[in-house]
A and B are shown apart, each in its own frame.
Chain A
Amino acid sequence: AQSVTQLGSHVSVSEGALVLLRCNYSSSVPPYLFWYVQYPNQGLQLLLKYTTGATLVKGINGFEAEFKKSETSFHLTKPSAHMSDAAEYFCAVSPLSGGYNKLIFGAGTRLAVHP
């Protein structure tokens, strides 16, 4: 069965510092991978996704993530945090390709950015 582990339920960084949010997955086949962001009392917004091709994926708001098959990881990074990045971030996997699928989410990482 597929699963997603997000290390660290809370991460706190200073404004301007590197953001690193960790995501590891377990899957018998290479899945599709997603990062979503959720601002308070709002829905989920897609930050970026990996399906096929280049393993370094760039998303919105300066975020990027790298798919490392050997490490079964898909960590999210941003070189310089901004106050507006404070939100909850969810990593998700989609086990199959070519058809419908249910997303399997990690428990989320709440990012705090302080001045």
Chain B
Amino acid sequence: NAGVMQNPRHLVRRRGQEARLRCSPMKGHSHVYWYRQLPEEGLKFMVYLQKENIIDESGMPKERFSAEFPKEGPSILRIQQVVRGDSAAYFCASSPPSRGNDYGYTFGSGTRLTVV
């Protein structure tokens, strides 16, 4: 019973390149959340998705960032034209379709993005 799987674990990109972060939720979980952790800070909510729908993207930067959760396959967080300030740990979490909020999320191990 695999947990939330994120890949890659570490990603290095040069300024201006694109970063693609992948998240496969736990089996039976249809809700996915992305959080960002900047150095020495707590996690900040970015986006909440269900299959084929973005429910809440209030934490996403307005430009260069996008997220999707297709009918088949993992959820993808995409960062275009990365800048040094995008260097952070990006965590994905998943929850079941009902009352997921009551039980807390299950987090993946994160993708640590370094922009050089």
Contacts and interface: CB of A to CB of B under 8 A. Distances in A.
Interface stretch (A11-19, A71-79, A104-112): A104-112
A98 B45 contact: no
Contacts of B4: 43
A115 interface: no
A43 B110 contact: yes
Main secondary structure of the interface of A (DSSP, over half): loop
Interface stretch (B14-22, B36-44, B64-72, B80-88): B36-44
A105 to B, nearest CB: 4
Given A100-B31, A102-B33, A44 B43 contact: yes
B52 interface: no
Interface residues of A, number: 27
B109 A42 contact: yes
B80 to A, nearest CB: 24
A33 to B, nearest CB: 10
B28 to A, nearest CB: 16
Contacts of A103: 33, 35, 43, 45, 104-105
Contacts of A102: 33, 45, 48, 56, 59
Contact of B101 (A45, A97, A108): A97
Nearest to A95: B101
Contacts of B106: 46
A46 B104 CA distance: 7
A41 B101 contact: no
Given A90-B43, A102-B59, A49 B101 contact: no
Contacts of A98: 99, 101-102
A65 B42 CA distance: 20
B42 A90 contact: yes
A94 interface: yes
Interface of B: 4, 6, 31, 33, 35, 41-45, 48, 55-56, 59, 91, 95, 99-110, 112
Interface of A: 4, 32, 34, 36, 41-46, 49, 51, 90, 94, 96-108
